[in-house]
Amino acid sequence: MNILYQFFPNTMDKTTEFFESILQTLQMTAAAGAVSFFLGLLFGLLLTLTGKGGLKENRPVYYVADKLINICRSIPFVIMLTALLPVTRAIMGSAIGTRGAIIPLIVGSTPFFARQVEAALAEIDRGLVEAALSMGDSPFDIVFKVYLREGVPAIARGVTITLISLVGLTAMAGAVAGGGLGSFAIMWGHQRNQTDCTYAAMIAILLIVFAIQWVGNLIIKKTTH
Amino acid sequence: MISIRNVSKTFASSSGSVEALKEVSLEIGEGEIYGVIGLSGAGKSTLARCINLLERPDSGSVNVDGMEMTSLSPRELRGQRRGIGMIFQQFNLMPSRTVWGNIAYPLKKAGLGREETDKRVRELLRLVGLEDKINAYPRQLSGGQKQRVAIARAIAVRPKVLICDEATSALDPATTLSILALLKQINREMGITMVVITHEMAVVKEICDRVAVMEHGRIVEEGSALSVFASPRSEVAASFVESASGAARINRLLDEKSPAVRIEKGQVLAKLTYMGTGANEALISQASRRFGVDCNIIFGNMEVVQDTTIGVLVLAFSGEKESITAAAEFLSRNNVIVEVIDR
Ligand SMILES: Nc1ncnc2c1ncn2[C@@H]1O[C@H](COP(=O)(O)OP(=O)(O)OP(=O)(O)O)[C@@H](O)[C@H]1O
Ligand SMILES: [Mg+2]
């Protein structure tokens, strides 16, 4: 304990606030992650199915989805945060705090995850789809029995990468909207020159990232045969 | 059982278009093992995939078991596909599922309960000889074992047709033979009509009743495996036969007048070709005894196609000139083709 007081005097003064920030970061990551997961899967599947050689090849649909994702991905996140203020306010009733950060986080990470899913599904041997078709499977069957099953390890890898980048985005979103470890580091470490707060926030973020990576690896290992 | 009429298919790509099939027609009878042989790019896979409409022909008709495949609705097509099993060169087993899960895959759609499924899976595993691998994942199996699982999966719902697209091309010769034996057994026991795509004449020789030879998207020759093997008419067919038969080597040695075929004065070198079901060897010793000639066997080759022996023997006869002639006539009378090569 003494050591903690020695190295993190300012952080130890406001442990409640520090833990609150950790919790907020986790909340933002979990909430935005969950929504992005479903939306990203949906878009990833849409890209795979409508893309070249896909089961429901459809150029216009693919073109629109593809471009939409590219556009979203090329807007810097900080700009997206401010640009989305009205939308956030309309949907969440507030544009500040953890609640205010979630919409931009979803918009920021869904396209990224959709690409991860698209890449994961592209890894699935085309022969498996052929085999399923030859056994009389419909595209719907193939989505659930081949893509969303044989793709699990690769999708898990995509989820891990997405969540880790999402943790990074929460820090940025928090800094603007308020809340989370990012805002903690800026408010105390940066603006009040209590550097140990910055390091404490950094360590907390690293631990979260390690935990995500560890769970992700575990899932990948358990689902790869 | 399968009737393909004037089927054409062209693939358009950035580097120009490829006519993979040009007005292909063929008829495959029920319970038949029908081979399709050709070099890489001849259009064999495209033809096979047109049967279950994994590839939709640009024109022509594909009729399987009385159903015109090209005019079915997507839903009807899926139903019809369940009656057409398919196995692949790369096996295409689902890596995330065990052997059990892979074989059970098509059974779920067929509406079998858990217990019935389990019973059927075990039955199939017994048939393909892999009962001990029931809980293994595909990654843990050898190529031959994977293909056995794929066969079990393909015939699980008792299809009427089984399409084998280069099913043994990724396997070693011994494993190839064991898989072909299994396919033949299945064909005999279940009466499944089989379409066997291959680029190896040895496969045709081993199991096919009839064979179509493809080149550049066309069928250039068609007939019973025996007739194509014994007397190929097209150049491609001849080169395939040559690759699978020792007789071709004999002909080459004769053409080259190899030292191995040099004879002494008074000897007659002859090539004997015969087709039949067994008792032919006795003819030679009969001829030898009856006409008092000695027969020295220089080369011999025998192929068994569709339970019929195609034999080629190169003999050096020695003895009285008249006796040799009489012996040759005796052999000819007994359906042996005698060609005198050197005297
Ligand atoms: N989906 C496709 N798109 C474009 N071209 C194709 C496609 N499928 C096949 N082709 C072309 O059609 C021709 C016939 O191909 P196919 O796969 O039927 O040959 P194959 O006889 O099965 O050859 P192999 O022995 O190599 O399997 C080839 O020139 C091939 O490049
Ligand atoms: Mg092929």
Q: Do A110 and A43 touch, CB atoms closer than 8 A?
A: yes
ipTM: 0.87
Cβ–Cβ below 8 Å for A134 and B78: no
| Residue A98: per-residue pLDDT | 82
Residues contacting B335, CB < 8 A, separation 6+? B274, B275, B276
How far is the C-alpha of B86 from the C-alpha of A212, rounded, in Å?
Answer: 42
Tokens of B223: 């007939």
- The residue among A18 and B285 whose pLDDT is bigger is A18
> Given a cut of 80, is residue B282 above it in pLDDT?
no
Residues of B within an 8 Å Cβ radius of A: 52, 54, 74, 78-82, 84-86, 88, 90, 92-96, 105-106, 109, 137-139, 153-154, 163
How far is the C-alpha of A5 from the C-alpha of B119, rounded, in Å?
Answer: 67
Sheet with B337-342, strands from edge to edge, namely B294-305, B308-318, B267-276, B337-342
pLDDT digits (tens, 9 = 90+) for A102-161: 899 999 999 999 999 999 999 999 999 999 999 999 999 999 999 999 999 999 999 999
Distances (CA, A) of A64 to A59, A104, A139, B123: 9, 21, 21, 50
Residue nearest to atom 2 of ligand 1 (CA): B11
Q: Do B211 and B59 touch, CB atoms closer than 8 A?
A: no
Q: Do B224 and B34 touch, CB atoms closer than 8 A?
A: no
> Given a cut of 80, is residue B276 above it in pLDDT?
no
**Ligand 1 in contact with B44 (CB < 6 A)?**
yes
Cβ–Cβ below 8 Å for B92 and A149: no
Task: Go through A125-158 and write b for each residue having 16 or more CB atoms within 10 A of its CB, e for each that does not.
Answer: eeebbbbbbbbbbeeebbbebbbebbbbbbbbbb
Phi, psi of B94 (to 5 degrees): -80, 115
How confident is the model over B233-243, as a mean pLDDT? 86
Spell out the domain ranges in chain A: 2-223
- The residue among B282 and B116 whose pLDDT is bigger is B116
Confidence of residue B46 (pLDDT cuts 50, 70, 90): very high
> Given a cut of 60, is residue B56 above it in pLDDT?
yes
Name residue B141's amino acid.
L
pLDDT digits (tens, 9 = 90+) for B189-208: 999 999 999 999 889 989 99
Q: Which residue of A has its CA nearest to B159?
A: A135
Question: Rounded to a whole number, what is the distance in Å from the CA of A131 to chain B's nearest CA?
Answer: 6
Strands B59-64, B67-68: pairing is antiparallel
B79: helix, coil or strand?
Answer: helix
- Among the partner-chain residues A130, A149, A225, the one whose CB lies closest to the CB of B92 is A130
DSSP string, B278-318: STHHHHHHHHHHHHT-EEEEEEEEEEEETTEEEEEEEEEEE
Q: Do A117 and A45 touch, CB atoms closer than 8 A?
A: yes
| Residue B229: per-residue pLDDT | 85
DSSP string, B208-235: -SEEEEEETTEEEEEEEHHHHHHS--SH
How confident is the model over A64-86, as a mean pLDDT? 91
Q: What is the pTM of this model?
A: 0.88
What's the half-sphere exposure (Cβ side, CA atoms, 13 Å) at A115?
14
Beta bridge partners of B161: B84, B193
| Residue A78: per-residue pLDDT | 86
pLDDT digits (tens, 9 = 90+) for B292-335: 888 888 888 888 888 888 888 888 888 888 888 888 888 888 88
Distances (CA, A) of B105 to A145, B237, B305: 9, 39, 36
Which of chain A's residues have a Cβ under 8 Å away from the Cβ of B90?
Answer: 125, 127
> Percent of chain B beyond pLDDT 90?
60
- Among the partner-chain residues A127, A131, A138, the one whose CB lies closest to the CB of B78 is A138
Mean pLDDT of all residues belonging to chain B: 90
Tokens of B84: 């057409």
pLDDT digits (tens, 9 = 90+) for A180-202: 899 899 888 888 988 999 999 99
Domain covering A2-223: architecture: Orthogonal Bundle (1.10)
Question: Rounded to a whole number, what is the distance in Å from the CA of A71 to chain B's nearest CA?
Answer: 28
What angle do helix axes A97-122 and A152-177 make, rounded to 10 degrees? 160
How far is the C-alpha of A17 from the C-alpha of A178, rounded, in Å?
Answer: 13
How far is the C-alpha of B113 from the C-alpha of A61, rounded, in Å?
Answer: 39
pLDDT digits (tens, 9 = 90+) for B325-343: 888 888 888 888 888 887 7
DSSP state at residue B160: S
Query: In terms of Cα–Cα distance, which of B308, B280, B284 is closest to B298?
Result: B284
- The residue among B34 and A81 whose pLDDT is bigger is B34
Distances (CA, A) of B339 to A52, B251, B287, B294, B299: 60, 12, 16, 17, 14
**Ligand 1 in contact with B46 (CB < 6 A)?**
yes
> Given a cut of 80, is residue B281 above it in pLDDT?
no
Task: Go through B233-266 and write b for each residue having 16 or more CB atoms within 10 A of its CB, e for each that does not.
Answer: eeebbbebbbebbebbebeebbeeeeeebebeee
pLDDT digits (tens, 9 = 90+) for A21-52: 999 999 999 999 999 999 999 999 999 999 99
> Given a cut of 80, is residue B154 above it in pLDDT?
yes
Environment of ion ligand 2 (residues, CB < 5 A): B 45
